Amino acid sequence: MNLLPKIKSCPCCNSFNLIKINGVSYENNFLSLKDWVLKKIFNCRKCRVKIGLFAEHANIKGEMIVWIDLLKCEEAYYKNLTNLQKSKEKLKKQNKKYEDVIKEINDIQNKIRLDQVKVKIKAKIQNPGIFVRHA
């Protein structure tokens, strides 16, 4: 248990947040980050987006700040995408099937990017002042 808070920047608006971490870790339901330990879920003080602090686990060192809504966009397609990646490795010799799998992978990645753009636009509309850049 740390007595001093950590200072981390928001992945959405780059503002600094003070995070107090106690010894409790949350249940990590994210398949893409299954090796990481979810230490804290909090809202950014400026833009109010939900952020997760993931800490080191076993052989992985360090900490990672993740925008939870963007992570959820990837999680919806994670199982399908990993199955297609495995089948891509098996089908390298068969041209037609290999190209079909590559096309499906690209389609899923495009859907993920589109969902992430929608989340970013939604955050921008809800908090219009956070994305204004001053020259």
Share of the chain above pLDDT 70, in %: 89
Give the pLDDT mean for 26-48: 86
Task: Answer whether residue 1 is part of any domain.
Answer: no
C-alpha closest to that of 35 among 8, 53, 65, 55: 55
Q: Read out DSSP for 4-29?
A: SPEEEE-TTT--EEEE---S--B---
Instruction: Tell whether 29 is covered by a domain.
Output: yes
| Per-residue model confidence (pLDDT) at position 108 | 93
Q: pTM for the full model? A: 0.74
**Which pLDDT score is estimated for 1?**
53
In a domain, 39, yes or no: yes
| Residue 62, domain extent | 6-131
Residue 55 lies in a domain: yes
Question: What's the CA gap between 124 and 135, in Å, rounded?
Answer: 19
More confident residue, 133 or 5: 5
In a domain, 73, yes or no: yes
Number of structural domains in the chain:
1
pLDDT band at 131 (very low <50, low <70, confident <90, very high): low
Cβ atoms of 26 and 41 closer than 8 Å: yes
pLDDT in tens, 39-65: 888 888 888 889 998 887 666 678 888
Could you read off the pLDDT of 97-129 as tens digits, one per residue?
888 888 999 999 999 999 999 988 888 888 766
